[in-house]
Amino acid sequence: MLNDSDKLIDIAPATAFLDFLKGMEVTHSAYQRSGIIKSKRALFLYNEGLLHPDSTLFLARKKQEILGTISVIAQRNQQLPCSLLFGAEIAALGLENRKVVELGTLSVKQTQQQDNLVFMLYLRIMIYTIFVEQVDDLLIQVKENVAPFYMRNFMFTRIGKTKKHPEYSDLNAVLLRLDVKKMREKIYEQQCYGANGWLRILCELGLNRHYRTICAQCRNGQRFRPDPQDAAVYRYLCSLQR
């Protein structure tokens, strides 16, 4: 349930390179605080997947302050960041002819509402991927101890065994998948809702406002896409040590 404070938070794609860098700085700080990365690392968190033109970094803002981030990462040469650790598990799923994205760089600043913010970020990003981008599968790699949250609240299922992640302090990580195509087909099969049943379902769940907002953002082209110069600067900044 959203409270009055939550309603002041705007979640939207980064629209400029500076926005992108500020968001990655928030992610870097959050990952350090939670022990995902070690303290003596680069100024910014590097994520090659975010340089893909079809990837999108979303920022949660309250006025001018960035409170959190989450991203939709597109495949590059049939690979995703999670392919590094879970390549065999992904290959076994047989997703070659499906539109697959990874959700990553989830981070929130320490606030009294941080649990609400995590839920808000995932809710918005799932509406975007399911109903706007119309992906077939969502993949995420998460710490083992938080996997039940995503399975309980967002219907993800666990794929394979726990593994230690070499890029993130050898934390125990698991791969989760959401078969969006199967979910969407079930929604469309509900004949009582008619041809646009999924829109009626969003209305009944109170999510239509979120859907309209995301559609407007996409129509207006409000999304940062890094050009080669942006990518070069980002890589350089990520190579600098504190």
- List pLDDT tens digits, range 179-219: 988 887 776 666 665 556 667 777 776 777 777 877 777 66
Per-residue model confidence (pLDDT) at position 46: 85
Per-residue model confidence (pLDDT) at position 80: 95
Q: Is the pLDDT of residue 113 over 70?
A: no
Q: Which CATH number applies to 6-219: 1.10.3720.10, 3.40.640.10, 3.40.630.30, 3.40.50.2000?
A: 3.40.630.30
7 — pLDDT class (breaks 50, 70, 90):
low
CA-CA distance, 43 to 224, in Å (whole number)? 21
CA-CA distance, 25 to 113, in Å (whole number)? 20
Which residues, at least 6 apart from 117, have a Cβ–Cβ distance to it below 8 Å? 6, 9, 60, 67, 68, 108, 111
Can you give the residue ranges of every domain in the chain?
6-219
Per-residue model confidence (pLDDT) at position 209: 76
Average pLDDT over residues 149-167: 93
Residue 67 corresponds to which tokens in the numbers above?
């409170």
Average pLDDT over residues 149-159: 93
Residue 206 corresponds to which tokens in the numbers above?
């109170």
Q: Per-residue pLDDT tens for 63-109?
A: 889 999 999 999 988 899 999 999 999 999 999 999 999 999 999 98
Rounded (10°) CA dihedral 227, 125, 20, 76: -40
Per-residue model confidence (pLDDT) at position 41: 61
Bigger pLDDT: 68 vs 3: 68
Bigger pLDDT: 55 vs 192: 55
Per-residue model confidence (pLDDT) at position 78: 84
CA-CA distances (angstroms) from residue 184 to 103, 130, 181, 194? 18, 8, 5, 14
